[in-house]
Amino acid sequence: MTAPVTASGASSAGTAASRSARVDRSIARILRAGTLVSIGLLAVGVALLAIAGGSPLERTLPGLDPARIPADILALRPEGFLWLGLLATLATPLLRVAAAVVGFLGAGERRMAGLGVAVLIVIALAVVVAQRPAA
């Protein structure tokens, strides 16, 4: 009677560990890809900045305007690549959290998925609050 229970328990623990390892691996892939994309975009922006010449400390840019980024990139303006690189940099850890939420939901770990959702809510709050003018 004991043996089947132990085997089942071991098998269940093994499955949980394997699921956990799978989540870790997929998140690691997202982080690596996100980092490469971010650094790639920033590097292209830096190269274009070098070609354009001048000191980056002396140039002024308008604030972030996502609607302008595609046009800037098509025109090979450095700021388009730099802004997109910055957005990709900031988005990479958030994609990691979103992937963890999906992974934990798939594994039936609702409390852990809930924590991930809580993190994303804090980030959403940051976006909303930051757009209000500073006192």
Q: Choose between 7 and 29: whose C-beta lies nearer to other proteins.
A: 29
Give the rounded distance of the alpha carbon of 21 from its chain centre: 20
* The two structure tokens encoding residue 130: 């930051």
Residues 6+ apart with CB under 8 A from 106: 19
Residue numbers 34-53 binding other proteins by CB under 8 A: 34-35, 38-39, 42-43, 45-46, 49-50, 53
5 binds other proteins (CB under 8 A): no
32 binds other proteins (CB under 8 A): yes
78 binds other proteins (CB under 8 A): yes
Q: 78-106 vs 110-130: helix axis angle to the nearest 10?
A: 150
Look-up of token digits 């400390």 = 57
Q: What does 76-92 look like in DSSP terms, one character per residue? A: T-HHHHHHHHHHHHHHH
69 binds other proteins (CB under 8 A): no
**Cα–Cα distance for residue pair 96/24, rounded to 1 Å:** 10
Write down the least CB distance from residue 68 to other proteins, Å: 12
Where on the chain is the footprint of other proteins (CB under 8 A)?
20-21, 23-25, 27-29, 31-32, 34-35, 38-39, 42-43, 45-46, 49-50, 53-57, 59, 61, 63-64, 78-79, 82-83, 85-86, 89-90, 92-94, 96-97, 100, 109, 111-112, 115-116, 118-119, 122-123, 125-127, 129-131, 134-135
